[in-house]
Amino acid sequence: MRLHDTLERGLRDLRPIDGSTLRFYCCGPTVYGPAHIGNFRTFVMQDVFRRTLETGGMRTFHVRNVTDVDDKTIRDSQAAGVPLGEFTAGWLERFHRDCQALNCLPPHVEPGAVEHLPQQIAMIEALVEKGHAYAAEDGSVYFRIESFPEYGSLSHLDTRELSLGKTQQSRANADEYEKDSLADFVLWKARRPEDGPNFWKSPWGEGRPGWHLECSAMIQEYLGSDFDLHSGGVDLVFPHHENEIAQSRCACGGNFARHWFHITHLLVDGGKMSKSVGNLYTLDDLAEKGFTALEVRYVLIGAHYRKPLNFTLESLSGAREALAKLAKGARSLAERAGEGTMLDSVEFGPFESAWEALNDDLNTPGALGGIFTGLREASKLEGVDAARALAGLNRILRALGIELPEEEAAADVPAEIRALADERWQARLGKDWARSDEMRDQLAEMGWAVKDSKEGYELNPI
């Protein structure tokens, strides 16, 4: 697979360092509330990335952390009057439920920050010892960015207006600080009254780890100091990933991640999601509006990951139609393949172009287009040829994590309506137009619209 690399700013072939398993890390959710569909754009694209590699026969090792201690989790658990661990466990459960609904594969390892405190403290000790970190008067420990000349290489700081010299005196204690404020960042945060009971002992006194540190410590634990790929939403490039690189390379040596895969943000109605505008959607919000998680997934993979994706409710209706069309095509192919001819093939047949698109910088919209083209190409195939094409289709659908709806939603039509509509269809076939029109009106009075086509009719509630 060829994939864009943020560090090199270009496409690069992906080859596992150990020659067999692609080992990668994704920054996981901060569990202080339900994840929104923007977060899920990132997690779904990471899932397509992994599924594509696995469909191509590569083994993967997927590590994704859980941020279960930071400014926000502490603040909101305190406000809810619930112990931090209990609070974050509840939101993690919800996150898992959502991921499952979206058909995302669970990571192979999912470590939490709180259970990796000793590793984080050990990393700070190593940084202090090597002169990359210092304890300040406030009892916190900071990373000295001046001590790492390569700081800024991922986000290409050199091409931005900042310079290390200008701002090196400043310090940031908040987990998330302003973009473009270049500062020594916090590794260990001294205990504050508003943290309540959420503090731990360390050689520098009571406190808790800074947010950036947890990923470095867990990566060292599960992937070591050289691994294949690191991923997250584009907002993490600076400062989070820049800080991870600084911490890890200074504490552990090695080259850290070889490849950086960042997903561009999702926009809603052309702008940033916001609670006050009322367009910060969770899966539950969309379920209330009648949309399934698989329809959401379809929308999320409908745009290339390096382009902004503008989410609208109309795009969900479009996804429903596209999925129904896909399901119809797949059923027709299966009927022509006949029973007992399920083949597992390593070929993609008419879906080869879809597969190529996926392997070319994870071009998911190209892959979706390729599936529809493939279905048209396969529309005349019969028997074993159809079975082969069907196997190719199933493989590409697996790579995209698409599960097709079973049958069209005919089950919701009441039996008496269905009977009347069937009778009308017979009248139409017998060219009894008057009777057919009469029954159309009758159905309309009962709340159902009939739409005719060559193959049959469709019933929709009015």
Q: Which is nearer to ligand AMP, 1 or 237 (CB)?
A: 237
Least distance CB 211 / Zn ion (angstroms): 8
Q: Which is nearer to ligand AMP, 41 or 94 (CB)?
A: 41
Contact range with ligand AMP by CB under 6 A, out of 38-46, 212-220, 357-365, 444-452 = 38-46
Binding of ligand AMP at residue 112 (CB under 6 A)?
no
- Distance, CA of 99 to chain centre: 9
| Helices 37-55 and 383-400, axial angle in degrees (round to 10) | 130
Least distance CB 244 / Zn ion (angstroms): 6
Binding of ligand AMP at residue 378 (CB under 6 A)?
no
Q: Which is nearer to Zn ion, 27 or 37 (CB)?
A: 27
Contact range with Zn ion by CB under 5 A, out of 51-59, 215-223, 342-350, 373-381 = 215-223
Least distance CB 272 / ligand AMP (angstroms): 7
Binding of ligand AMP at residue 73 (CB under 6 A)?
no
In 178-255, where do the E strands start and end? 184-190, 207-209, 226-233
Amino acid at 283: L
Amino acid at 45: M
Q: Which is nearer to Zn ion, 215 or 396 (CB)?
A: 215
Query: Torsion-angle region of residue 164: left (phi > 0), alpha (psi -120 to 50) or beta?
Result: alpha
Contact range with Zn ion by CB under 5 A, out of 21-29, 132-140, 218-226, 321-329 = 21-29
First to last CA, the chain: 48
Which residues are 271's β-sheet partners? 268
Q: Are 232 and 241 in contact (CB under 8 A)?
A: yes
What are the φ/ψ torsions at residue 144 (nearest 5 degrees)?
A: -90, 100
Quick note: the x/- pattern for ligand AMP over 315-354, rule CB under 6 A, is ----------------------------------------
Binding of ligand AMP at residue 266 (CB under 6 A)?
yes
- Token couple for 408: 């069209």
Q: Are 365 and 401 in contact (CB under 8 A)?
A: no
Binding of Zn ion at residue 27 (CB under 5 A)?
yes
Q: Compute the distance between CA of residue 54 and CA of residue 327 in angstroms, rounded to an integer.
A: 24
Q: Compute the distance between CA of residue 266 and CA of residue 233 in angstroms, rounded to an integer.
A: 10
Query: Which among Zn ion, ligand AMP, none contacts residue 215 (Cβ within 5 to 8 A by kind)?
Result: Zn ion
Q: Are 154 and 238 in contact (CB under 8 A)?
A: yes
Binding of ligand AMP at residue 41 (CB under 6 A)?
yes
Q: Which is nearer to ligand AMP, 2 or 265 (CB)?
A: 265
Least distance CB 240 / Zn ion (angstroms): 5
Q: Compute the distance between CA of residue 121 and CA of residue 341 in angstroms, rounded to an integer.
A: 58
User: What is the CB-side half-sphere exposure of residue 379 using CA atoms within 13 A?
Assistant: 9
Quick note: the x/- pattern for ligand AMP over 222-261, rule CB under 6 A, is ----------xx-xx-------------------------
Q: Which is nearer to Zn ion, 215 or 319 (CB)?
A: 215
Binding of ligand AMP at residue 99 (CB under 6 A)?
no
Q: Which is nearer to ligand AMP, 12 or 265 (CB)?
A: 265
Query: Torsion-angle region of residue 10: left (phi > 0), alpha (psi -120 to 50) or beta?
Result: beta
Least distance CB 39 / ligand AMP (angstroms): 4
* Residue of closest CB approach to ligand AMP: 233
Q: Compute the distance between CA of residue 16 and CA of residue 57 in angstroms, rounded to an integer.
A: 13
Contact range with ligand AMP by CB under 6 A, out of 35-43, 57-65, 146-154, 285-293 = 35-43
Least distance CB 441 / ligand AMP (angstroms): 49
Number of C-beta neighbours around residue 442 at 10 A: 15
Q: Which is nearer to ligand AMP, 209 or 232 (CB)?
A: 232
- Token couple for 45: 């694209």
Binding of Zn ion at residue 215 (CB under 5 A)?
yes
Binding of ligand AMP at residue 29 (CB under 6 A)?
yes
Residue choice 4, 6, 30, 396 for contact with ligand AMP (CB under 6 A) = 30
Binding of ligand AMP at residue 102 (CB under 6 A)?
no
Among the listed residues 188, 84, 81, 190, the one whose alpha carbon sits nearest the alpha carbon of residue 126: 188
- Distance, CA of 62 to chain centre: 13
Binding of ligand AMP at residue 107 (CB under 6 A)?
no
Binding of ligand AMP at residue 27 (CB under 6 A)?
yes
| C-alpha torsion angle, residues 325, 361, 245, 31 (rounded to 10) | 0
Collapsed DSSP state (helix, strand, coil) of residue 28: coil
Which residues are 267's β-sheet partners? 310
Query: Torsion-angle region of residue 114: left (phi > 0), alpha (psi -120 to 50) or beta?
Result: alpha
Least distance CB 263 / ligand AMP (angstroms): 6
Q: Which is nearer to ligand AMP, 230 or 440 (CB)?
A: 230
Q: Binding residues for ligand AMP, per CB under 6 A? A: 27, 29-30, 38-39, 41-42, 67, 232-233, 235-236, 263, 265-266
